[in-house]
């Protein structure tokens, strides 16, 4: 029998035109035998160790990237709020300075340290204004010029 002429179908094989049942394989020796495990080579163990370390580092970097991007987003939000509050603070400071200047003027007037209000009104007659006499205009028309 050559291997090229044998076709296997289920547990039987066909040799030429005739179907022949495959012989059952029965163990020659019965009993409990310990299975021998094939030891992994040190390179395979080392590769597995490096792969697990790499996987842990990738997971750590993904988690840290999430927290960094989240904190950056919060920092941008806080930065915008700080700019808005600073601008509002500048406007309020300008209003406060304006009110302080008016308040200082009011205090000076109310304290009467520099200005005293009049206790009595004095009326004086209107002053006659002296009239300045008008001088006649002198017009001189020279019909001649020097040198002609």
User: CA 107, CA 113: separation in Å to the nearest integer?
Assistant: 9
Instruction: Tabulate helix, strand, coil % of the chain (nearest 5).
Output: 50, 10, 45
As a whole number of angstroms, the distance between CA 23 and CA 4 comes to 19
- Structure token pair of residue 57: 């580092």
**For every one of its 148 residues, what pLDDT tens digit does the chain have, with 9 covering 90 and above?**
455 554 444 445 555 555 555 555 666 677 777 777 777 788 998 999 999 999 999 999 999 999 999 999 999 999 999 999 999 999 999 888 888 887 777 776 666 655 556 677 778 777 777 777 777 777 666 666 666 5
Residues 6+ apart with CB under 8 A from 9: 19
Q: Tell whether pTM > 0.95.
A: no
């Amino acid at each position: 029998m050559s291997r090229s002429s044998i076709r296997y179908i289920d547990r039987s094989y066909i040799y030429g035109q005739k179907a022949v049942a495959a012989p059952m394989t029965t163990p020659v020796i019965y009993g409990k035998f310990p299975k021998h495990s094939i030891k992994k080579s040190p390179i395979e163990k080392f590769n597995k160790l490096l792969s697990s370390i790499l996987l842990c580092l990738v997971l750590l970097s993904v988690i840290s990237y999430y927290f960094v991007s989240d904190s950056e987003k919060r920092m941008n939000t806080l930065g915008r709020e700080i700019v808005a509050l600073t601008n509002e603070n500048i406007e309020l400071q300008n209003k406060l300075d304006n009110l302080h200047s008016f308040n200082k003027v009011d205090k000076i007037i109310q304290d009467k340290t520099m200005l005293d209000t009049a206790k009595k009104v004095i009326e004086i007659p209107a002053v006659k204004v002296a009239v300045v006499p008008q001088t006649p205009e002198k017009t001189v028309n020279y019909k001649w010029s020097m040198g002609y």
